[in-house]
Amino acid sequence: MPFLESFLLVLHLIVAAVVCGLVLLQHGKGADMGAAFGSGSSGSLFGAAGSANFLSRTTAILAAVFFVSSLGLTYLGTMHTGPRDIMQQGTPDVPAATKSAEPAKPAPASVPVPGSTPAPASEAPKQAGEVPK
């Protein structure tokens, strides 16, 4: 699918540029195509009457291709279910603290080391995960 989306995007951009060019080449009401090239209407690029038909038909066909490629790109863009870039990802889902079937075991009491002074009685031994005050 990424290849198809890239191909449609390139086709879409090329068709858009060509349609812009064709619209700019077309003449308005009462203007001659040959005037754009510096000559009379009989010496125009596509002939005396052929320019209006060729340019208008080509523009209409390319406009239809442009609309179809727009619809195709829209359809392919809505088919993506997950986020496409880092800004759409947000924060990952972090599961809550896992509960185990066993109750938490108390931390082992500190064993006095010979030659050291014992801790004062006012300070109780810290439990695992306890925040000091």
Is the pTM higher than 0.75? Answer: no
Asked whether residue 125 is assigned to any structural domain, the reply reads no
For the chain, the domain total comes to 1
- Whether the CA torsion 119, 125, 126, 132 is positive or negative: it is negative
115: left (phi over 0), alpha (psi -120 to 50) or beta: left
Q: How confident is residue 35, by pLDDT bands cut at 50, 70 and 90? A: low
Which of 88, 72, 66, 83 shows the shortest CA–CA distance to 12? 66
Residue 104 lies in a domain: no
Residue 65: domain span: 2-82
* 16 vs 85, higher pLDDT: 16
Please state, in angstroms and rounded to a whole number, the distance separating the CA atoms of residues 22 and 28: 13
